Chain A
Amino acid sequence: MSKISYSKEVIRDLIEGKLPWSQTKSIISGYKDEDRFDKYVEVLQEKVAWQEKILLPLTHELYIVQKGSDRIVKCSCGQEFGDYRVNWKLNALIHVRESEEEVKELYPYPSAPDAEFCEIREFYCPGCGTQLWVETVPFGYPLVFDFLPDLDTFYAEWLKRPLPSQKEFTDLTCDFIAQNWAE
């Protein structure tokens, strides 16, 4: 069987939700294309205005990119969030929906989370004001580090092309807080 592969145009339309459903369905049901990751990154790289190489897309708007010898999180608008091993939310703007009116805007019917118990945290990009994430967690829960990728394993062992330099796979969030925020 020949290997499945899709054109960059198809991948672009797929990412943007513009591919007709019949084609999307056929991609879902079919064998997966082995060159997907590279085409995906290529399409996304063309969409952003900056030059740093995308190592891994994280969300609709955020990317881990290679910047010099660093790997940082960067928004599509260009805003930078620092080392990818530090939760990017530490460098975002936060708004917590606390008033009844603000909660009611989301939940117009009788049931709604209790703001005393539940923090509805909205995270905005300081560069463009995009809402990057929403957490609904118990009051006082640490900021959730949703995903810390093991980039070196991914590139070296899974894609079989190691990145130029190695970074230890470890969560540096608490180190960042200890060094920068704690009195």
Chain B
Amino acid sequence: MEQKVVNKGIGWGGNTLKEMLDKKKQLWSDTGCYYGLQELSLSASAPFKLELLHARLLAAVIAGRETTRMISAAPQVREVAELAVALYTPEGDCLLQSTGIIIHITLMGQVVEWMIEQGYEEEGINDGDCFTSNDNAISGLHPPDVYDITPIFWEGELIGWVGTVIMELEIGAVVPGCMPSGATDRFSEGLRLSAEKSAENDKHLKSFERRIRFGSRTPDLLLLNRKGALAANVKVREEVKKAVAEFGIDYYMGATRELVELERRAQLERVKRRTVPGKFHSPTTIEVDLTRTIAPPTHAIGRVTLIPCDFHIKPDGRYFLDFDGTGAWGWHAANTTPSAIQGAVSMILTQTIAYTGNANQGTSLAVDMNVPYDSFVWPSTPNFASGWLFSWPLSGGVKWMTQQSHAFFCRGFVEEFRSGVTTSSGVFGAMTGKDHLGNDFNFLSTEAAGCWGGGAFATRDGVTASAAFMPNVDMGSVEIWELMLPTLWLGRKLLPDSCGWGRYRSGYSALSTFLIYKTPLLAFDTSATFLEDKIYPNIGMFGGYPSQGAFSKLITNANTKELISQEKPLAHGMGNPDQSDLEKNIDGDLTVVTRGGIFVDSLAKDGDVYQCFYGAIASGVGDPIKRDPALARKDLDNGLLGIERCRSMHCIEAKYDQETEEWAVDEGATAELREKRSKERLAKGIPAKEWWEKRRQHLAEGRLPRLLKVMYNESLTKGQRWPGEFRRFWNLPETFTFKED
């Protein structure tokens, strides 16, 4: 038990929060154990008592999350449930978490730590306060993810914090939505709430409410979400107080620290039992194209940035991520930060290896990183645009998750292997103009959030709806979205032939088709999550491919009213890919958009039709021609696979039986096709040495796109280790760089 001192700080035992934070860090540095706990006396003496407390607190944060959903009016919260609630120690370390957008769990704690370092205690932290933050220079993933954080006091001393994160769909940025393609610095991304006090005595400050009212295009939704978050925080805080009253404050404080240290040790042990030590590697490339949006001319460029990443599993079970060789940060929304990467680490570990319900700060303490300052992964300005900070976390991070899966596979835990869906280029529809009620209107439709086809498993196909950042996925009811948007859904369907091909294929993503409804003017921003349009993510595993990326189509001046009056067909999905229903049935001017992060050139109005394939890129696993014909037949029967690609990708011959309305596999023809394909591969594949000589020649002569030369030069200039590896692989001079045209 900690000795109490004469009251001078608001923290437990009369310590200041800064003293508690410093002490925690010192003890960690001295002992390598959380809070210096080398003996775990509470769990050793009465493990079930500790478990009981943990379960009580866990139930509180889960109930808190549901409370918010009942109060909010935003479909993003009520339907899609993009929120999460977590409990923290006084120093900001996560103790436990609800389900939801758990990438933010560690990050809300980092806001608490920042507040302590900034001296908020001297300015005043009181029971009933709430602090609100969406400032990603402090911590976070992007501005629409708003954190509401409430202190928990017991007998006048601060014993913890509760935080709720909600994703907002409009935050008053330079263009509508919440992660606009054209925002290139923080000043064009709307409301900036830098952990400011938003409530006292559990009631929002009028000044805060006025700031929101004048700072967003949908203030009612934003404010009601704040009320929901505050309600969740109050609910959890009161439940914590009840637990403290029952268990005693000394037990509670000791238990919170033991729970973190227990989890840290458990994580190391899990790694040793389920993986194989060693080194993994993969590059990630993130593209930016600001030439077709509203970015200022000084920022309106296209670029590609390289993020090579080594992932080590160390002999002691620790993970180490090394970002050496990462390229430069820039004035665009797709940089990332150490904080965002830490969020990804916590999120991915919680779902893949630390899924016991006990994941907390201890899980993350078992991970080290080398994140170079003044690079794409750590910009050297607090004013970087932050709309897509999850660039590496949701692409490279997902690859990292797949690498961990590879380690599970090598160890024999094939059932735990899951390849990734990167979320890259998984476009949303940010809209601006007039809504169906005649109001000026700006919104981001996120019906697809988390509902992309997932990566394949080692022994089965990927699931239909999946995303690393949203474990419990939900597209929401169309009827609720239609209340908010000037669009009527004509259909939601899976897109045939769009999977990541493999022995086990990835899941299929959805295609939505909308009739534009009662608006005279509507513009679309294909507000991507981030771009991997030219270079698909390197996520194929064991011979499988990455899946189809996103695209959208808009038909303006459409003749839908005429078609409806004549009771003729519209379009509800893709139909025949070679001549889609959209193009076959509806006359008008067609615009096809194959890139995220741009404004669609044409403006839409009532009666026009917009179709969007939310294709995040997911991995297939294994050689596609080793696919079990029975699985392919199932896909044929379900209309997910066309016979042409069944033959070309899987080398499976099948015939459709008109009577039974089912496909039948021709085993003999299939065997022939497969044998023929193997021979073709042997004939067309060239020895690696031959390829290496040819490609080296290309590089030495600078025969590659200028954007890639700039990309490589940034990494060759900035890196310490990676540049040597690149040059040695290609047998290039020690000082080699590309000449930029």
Contacts and interface: CB of A to CB of B under 8 A. Distances in A.
Given A131-B625, A140-B698, A149-B277, A113 B536 contact: yes
Nearest to A93: B685
Given A24-B415, A138-B304, A140-B698, 6 more contacts: A17-B459, A109-B577, A133-B541, A137-B283, A147-B279, A181-B731
B725 interface: yes
A117 B531 CA distance: 14
Interface stretch (B172-180, B211-219, B496-504): B496-504
A109 B498 contact: yes
Contact of B594 (A93, A110, A169): A110
Among B313, B540, B693, which residue has the most Cβ atoms of chain A within 10 A?
Answer: B540
B550 interface: yes
A55 B272 CA distance: 17
Contacts of B306: 138
Interface string B539-566: 1111111101111010000000000000
Interface stretch (B95-103, B181-189, B377-385, B706-714): B706-714
Contacts of A173: 729
A38 to B, nearest CB: 8
Interface string B718-735: 000000011011110000
18 contacts: A11-B412, A24-B459, A37-B412, A39-B412, A57-B412, A60-B503, A94-B688, A111-B533, A124-B682, A132-B542, A137-B283, A138-B708, A147-B279, A147-B403, A148-B279, A154-B278, A157-B315, A174-B728
Interface residues of B, number: 102
Interface string A132-166: 11111111111111111111011001100000000
Contact of A106 (B406, B545, B628, B678): B545
Interface string B274-301: 1011111111010000000000000000
Contact of A60 (B622, B677, B692): B622
Nearest to A92: B688
Given A114-B535, A149-B276, A174 B504 contact: no
B460 A93 contact: no
Among A14, A146, A178, which residue has the most Cβ atoms of chain B within 10 A?
Answer: A146
Nearest to B711: A138
A148 B278 contact: yes
A168 interface: no
Contacts of A147: 278-280, 403, 406-407, 410
B143 interface: no
B691 interface: yes
A66 interface: no
A24 B415 CA distance: 7
Nearest to B595: A111
A138 B283 contact: yes
Interface string A13-48: 011110000001001100010101101110000000
Nearest to B540: A134
Given A114-B534, A148-B279, A177-B692, A124 B685 contact: yes
Contacts of A174: 725, 728-729
Interface of A: 11, 14-17, 24, 27-28, 32, 34, 36-37, 39-41, 56-61, 89-96, 105-114, 116-118, 120, 122-124, 126, 128-151, 153-154, 157-158, 169, 171, 173-174, 177-178, 180-182
Among A120, A137, A151, which residue has the most Cβ atoms of chain B within 10 A?
Answer: A137
Contacts of A114: 533-535
B411 A37 contact: yes
Contacts of B274: 32
A146 B415 CA distance: 20
Given A14-B414, A130-B623, A137 B277 contact: no
Given A28-B416, A96-B691, A147-B406, A136 B705 contact: no
Contacts of B628: 17
B542 A133 contact: yes
Contacts of A106: 501, 545, 649
Nearest to B537: A136
B532 to A, nearest CB: 9
A85 B728 CA distance: 16
Nearest to A94: B691
Interface string B483-496: 00000000000010
B704 A139 contact: yes
B635 to A, nearest CB: 15
A37 B414 CA distance: 11
A108 B577 contact: yes
Contact of B729 (A36, A136, A143): A143
Contacts of A36: 411-413
Contact of A111 (B615, B688, B730): B615
Contact of B281 (A39, A146, A150, A181): A146
B89 interface: no
A136 B540 contact: yes
Given A89-B688, A118-B534, A136-B536, A144 B281 contact: yes
B55 interface: no
Contacts of B540: 133-136
A28 B457 CA distance: 13
A41 B615 CA distance: 37
Contacts of A93: 681-682, 685-688
A109 B414 CA distance: 32
A111 B594 contact: yes
B624 interface: yes
Nearest to B685: A93
Contact of B276 (A34, A59, A133, A154): A154
A130 B546 CA distance: 18
A92 B686 CA distance: 8
Contacts of B695: 140
B23 interface: no
B728 to A, nearest CB: 4
Contacts of A96: 691
B685 A95 contact: yes
A89 B281 CA distance: 14
